[in-house]
Amino acid sequence: MYRYLLFHKPYDILSQFTDNVGKVQQGCGSLLSDRATLKDYIPVPSVYPVGRLDRDSEGLMLLTNNGRLQHRLSDRRFRHPRTYWVQVERIPDEAALNQLRAGIVIQNYCTRPALVQLLPTHPPLPERQPPIRFRKTVPTAWLEITLTEGRNRQVRKMTAAVGYPTLRLVRVAIAHLRLDGLEPGQWRDLTPAELEPLRQL
């Protein structure tokens, strides 16, 4: 029987169930992980993340044991939208926003056109633990960015390329699925209404 879970990944959590790198040596040669993983939050066996979120990113993750759906939503060929709230250093001007919208050359590829808007206020998010670095002389702004691809650290690379480094990154939507109602560290099963569009993929 397939399971479909939504999870609000906190900051500093690996988006996988095991940590094969960050091990610390224990007595008698045994190894323990010193980094938190999905296993510390989700007691459901045999589900796996659809895509990833970096350790220093937060927000919505979808987990399932349906391999076909996992592939369909993860593969950038299918162009499923993912929406992020991004806190950046300083206030981006319209020229920078238009660059993000049009696509930016990063290393050896050009990003696809994106939906980008400057949010008028701080979005309704709990404070990050630990907080971002704060500098009195440098203002920050929040952007909403919707991508149809998911390359490694893409949002961070995009904002840095136009001169506005990312300070905090929170994924708030995957296709029609939203983060609403989940506190950091909480998870739940999808509702039948949320599941129906996924069955049609």
Q: Is 54 a catalytic residue?
A: yes
Q: Which residues pair with 188 in a beta bridge?
A: 6
3-state SS class at 74 = helix
Q: At what angle do helices 94-102 and 154-161 cross, to 10 degrees?
A: 140
Residue among 169, 192, 172 nearest 181 (CA):
172
- 17 and 38 in contact (C-beta within 8 Å)? yes
For the chain, where are the alpha helices, taking DSSP H only? 67-74, 94-102, 154-161, 192-199
Q: Looking at 19, 54, 75, 93, which residue is catalytic?
A: 54
Please tell me the distance from the alpha carbon of residue 177 to that of residue 172, in angstroms, as a whole number.
8
Name every residue whose Cβ is closer than 8 Å to that of residue 181 and which is 6 or more positions away in sequence. none
Question: Annotated catalytic sites, by residue?
Answer: 54
